[in-house]
């Protein structure tokens, strides 16, 4: 199960990770977000030890979302070496879209 991040630990977890990081920005009222949760859990299992997966509840972390310019959900951001590498936004995101983005980052 993904770890929930907040404003206080977000930067530390991203900057100090030795492996790429996938962050799932979601909201409890967002149906596409909720529909993707099983896919995110599958990806977390499939890429275990090669990526870290975190979640950010946008309703509880508005300041962080504003800072990162996360304007809609679902949004997925992939980081490598502490820097943003890929951002996926929109309700039409699929598990394959996320998987392809991860594979591209992992090389």
DSSP class per residue in 26-69: E-TT-HHHHHHHHHHHHHHHHTTTT-EEEEEETTT-HHHHHHHT
Of 7, 13, 30, 37, the active-site residue reads 30
Q: Cα–Cα distance between 16 and 76 in angstroms, integer? A: 19
Three-state SS at 6: coil
Of 33, 53, 78, 98, the active-site residue reads 33
What are the backbone dihedrals phi and psi of residue 90, each rounded to the nearest 5 degrees, phi first? 125, 160
25 and 75 in contact (C-beta within 8 Å)? Answer: yes
Active site residue 65: no
- The residues annotated as belonging to the active site are 30, 33
């Amino acid at each position: 199960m993904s770890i929930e991040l907040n404003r206080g630990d977000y930067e530390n977890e991203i900057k100090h990770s030795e492996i790429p990081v996938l962050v799932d920005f979601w909201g409890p009222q967002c149906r596409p977000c909720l529909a993707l949760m099983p896919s995110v859990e599958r990806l977390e299992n499939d890429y275990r030890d090669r990526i870290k997966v975190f979640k950010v509840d946008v309703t509880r972390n508005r300041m962080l979302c504003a800072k990162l310019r996360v304007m809609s959900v679902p949004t997925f951001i992939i980081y490598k070496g502490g820097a943003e590498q890929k951002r996926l936004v929109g309700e039409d995101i699929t598990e394959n879209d996320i998987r392809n983005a991860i594979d591209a980052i992992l090389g």
